[in-house]
Chains A and B, each alone.
Chain A
Amino acid sequence: MMKHLPAYYTIWHILGYYGLRLTAYLVLGFLMLPILIIVPLSFNVEPYFSFTQGMLRLDPDAYSLRWYEAIFTDQRWTLSIRNSFFVGALAAILATVLGTIAAVGLSSPVMPAKRLITALLLSPMIVPLIIIAAGMFFFYTGFGLVGSFTGLVMAHAVLGVPFVIITVTATLTGFDRSLFHAGVSMGASPLKVFWDVVIPLIRPGVISGGLFAFVTSFDEVVVVLFLAGPEQRTIPRQMFSGLREQINPTILAVATLLIVISVALLVTLEILRRRSERLRGEAF
């Protein structure tokens, strides 16, 4: 281990070297442990939020899948899971379409007031959620959109659009505009070039933006609290009331499932990123 260090290292260099590593691991633990602690607790056979003696002894009888069963048998949970996926998917699709169009427009050199429009479109990411939610509540009331899926999907799409704009804009900065000119010079209309050339090349950015938008909707609770009726109850909303009404590890089981889903999405994003890097590496 020591032999990898440069020969000129003094004791202080060595202390610093290991000290830095130790600090890094401590920070990582600080970030990850509160999340990871949930996973074993969700397998608790007892309806408590703490480790039992049996769990600490690794006694198989102290563990069970009963809370996972509870998720899929309790009608409130099944409804909220269905709602979360439904609202998340629709909001993500809407946000992806609108965000991609916005990003393409904003990347055009002739677009006026670029900074102002970008700032406005990204504002849902910066403005406190509670303010957006309250604003939407009053605004949507006038259109009868409160307590409807349409309203909730629209609201979540607004929250997702900034992520799509950011990821698509990032892929577009690497986009060579002469590809567009080349397509047009060969006789294809700008719209056709957009479909045949621009979209395939920015697809990784579009998809990762869409996934971000989906996740945003998937774990959003504030807007749901304001806009959703009992019919539109989503997973985070159900967890929120679960915390107050029926404290049991079902919530932890749901949380574990959410962690698994998030990790799966992150892995997908990483695969997409590498794919796009490879494509671009070949292009130039």
Chain B
Amino acid sequence: MPSEAEHAFLQFDQVKKSYDQKTLVVKGFDLDVDRGEFITLLGPSGSGKSTVLMMLAGFEGVTSGDIRVENKSITRTAPYKRNIGMVFQNYALFPHMTIAENLAYPLQVRKMAKPDVKDRVNEYLRLIEMPEFGGRYPGQLSGGQRQRVALARALIFEPSLILMDEPLGALDKKLREQMQYEITRLHEQLGFTVIYVTHDQTEALSMSSRIAVFNDGVVQQCAAPAELYERPKNAFVADFIGENNFIPGTVSAIDGAEAKVAIPGGEIIAVAGDGLVVGQKCVVSVRPEKLFIQPTSHAYDNEVTAAHVTHHYVGDFIRYYFRFADGTEINLKVLNDLAAPNFSAGQEGKLAWLKKDCIAFPA
């Protein structure tokens, strides 16, 4: 019997899924999740992230590969025996039961004694800060309240694993932020493991311990939010997470982890992405907030020349648009303070940034 330390709490081992026996929706998904982690599956719709969740919940079969919880395969366990809590986008509260009855349902299924059920329901109503709502029906609650009840209902039977399928997708922006805070709070307080599916990258970045970025049935990168943002592994991740400028260029030299790249506005030094070779066409990604307009007090390694196109006043920052001689557009964000410069259309400016803030990917 191997000790627990040798195995991650939840393991996906080369999980594949095909609906029609021809095309794979999920192409070999590998992931080890430790107990208490908050893992987000992030990707555009149709990327296979929801399918992974459904396979984990047991509502979809696994075509090949294995899913293990505590080193025991669950692919042949019926969904109702997996002891996995689930939160749905449309809340999925039972409309004919009161809030208290909804919360009590998983406990009744487990044949818990009535007084204990009552205590536990009250405890969780307090936990979601809705103690006086037990007698109401779901139809009488607001969207945010319903999602809090749905969350409590998935937690109340103390499953070690909670799945959330775009749980905040139906809420407006303000409520969504409140609920993100709420979920993070409960996660820290109760220490359960979360697999969270979303297409909203802000949500993913602010809540997760690690994010698996999906595209086309394959995990492009799985890493902590900061690493994903600062060190994207390929152009898809760089583009999908946050905003990015992509400048086409040609690799003129590679020196260890650094590459010298000729771009329309001059020659720059960038971090060399995987698989980059000298003489190759490439794209250099650099984020709008890492760019500065000269003169600047910030340190910089690269400096290029481009013509000003226009700028948009956003509020807390101003977004400037520049164009290189070959027509490639680039935009940058400047904090809205006294240093924000004035430009007229067509006026030339110098843009500067650190070499560690740009990555050259093979084109």
| A interface list, Cβ under 8 A from B | 176, 178-179, 181-190, 192, 196-197, 200-201, 279-283
Whether A182 contacts B95 in the complex (CB less than 8 A), given A187-B109, A188-B105, A282-B140, comes out as no
A176, A186, A200, A282: the one within 8 Å of B106 (CB): A186
Segment 70-88 of B: residues with Cβ below 8 Å from A: 78-86, 88
Establish whether residues A186 and B95, one from each chain, have CB atoms under 8 Å apart when the complex forms: no
What residues of B have a CB within 8 angstroms of the CB of A182 in the complex?
A: 86, 88, 92-94, 153
The SS class assigned to the A binding surface is: helix
Which of B79, B84, B163: most chain A CB closer than 10 A? B79
B90 within 8 A of A: yes
A178-B90, A181-B88 are known contacts. Are A189 and B80 too (CB-CB below 8 A)? yes
Contact of B96 among A183, A188, A279 (CB under 8 A): A279
- Hey, which chain A residues are within 8 Å of B93, CB to CB? 182
Residue of B nearest to A193 (CB): B80
The reply to whether B59 and A201 form a contact with Cβ atoms under 8 Å apart is no
Q: How far is the CA of A176 from the CA of B89 in the complex (A)?
A: 12
Residues on A with beta carbons closer than 8 Å to the beta carbon of B82:
185
Q: Are the CB atoms of B86 and A282 closer together than 8 Å?
A: no
Q: Which of B89, B92, B95, B106 contacts A187 (CB 8 A)?
A: B106
* 8 nearest A-B pairs in the assembled complex, by CB-CB distance: A282-B139, A283-B95, A186-B106, A182-B92, A185-B86, A178-B92, A188-B109, A178-B88
Query: Considering only CB atoms, which chain A residue lies closest to B79 in the complex?
Result: A184
Tell me the complex Cα distance, A280–B93, Å. Answer: 12
- Among candidates A176, A183, A282, residue contacting B90 with C-beta atoms closer than 8 Å: A176
Q: Flag if A197 contacts B154 (CB, 8 Å).
A: no
Which of A181, A186, A280 lies in contact with B105, CB distance below 8 A? A186
User: Given A187-B83, A188-B80, A283-B138, A200 and B157 touching (CB < 8 A)?
Assistant: no
Contacts A282-B137, A282-B138 given; indicate if A185 touches B90 (C-beta within 8 A): no
Q: In the bound complex, how far is the Cα of B94 from the Cα of A283, in angstroms? A: 8
What total of A-B pairs shows CB separation below 8 Å?
78
Interface residues of B (CB under 8 A from A): 57-59, 78-86, 88-90, 92-96, 105-106, 109-110, 137-140, 153-154, 157, 163
A185 and B57 contacting across the interface, CB-CB below 8 Å: yes
Separation in Å of the B58 CB from the closest CB of chain A?
Answer: 8
In the complex, are the beta carbons of B157 and A201 less than 8 A apart? no
- 19 residue pairs A–B, Cβ–Cβ below 8 Å: A178-B88, A179-B94, A181-B88, A182-B86, A182-B92, A182-B93, A183-B105, A184-B59, A185-B82, A185-B154, A186-B105, A186-B154, A186-B157, A187-B106, A187-B110, A282-B137, A282-B139, A283-B95, A283-B139
A184-B80 contact, Cβ under 8 Å, with A192-B109, A281-B139, A283-B139: yes
Q: A200 near B96 (CB under 8 angstroms)?
A: yes
Q: Which chain A residues lie closer than 8 Å to B88 at the CB level?
A: 178, 181-182
Please measure, in the bound complex, the distance between the C-alpha atom of A257 and the C-alpha atom of B263, giving whole angstroms.
92
Question: Nearest-CB distance from B200 to chain A (Å)?
Answer: 19
- Complex contact A187–B86 (CB within 8 A): no
C-alpha gap A183/B150 in the complex (Å) = 12
- In the bound complex, residues from chain A placing their C-beta under 8 Å from that of B163 are 185
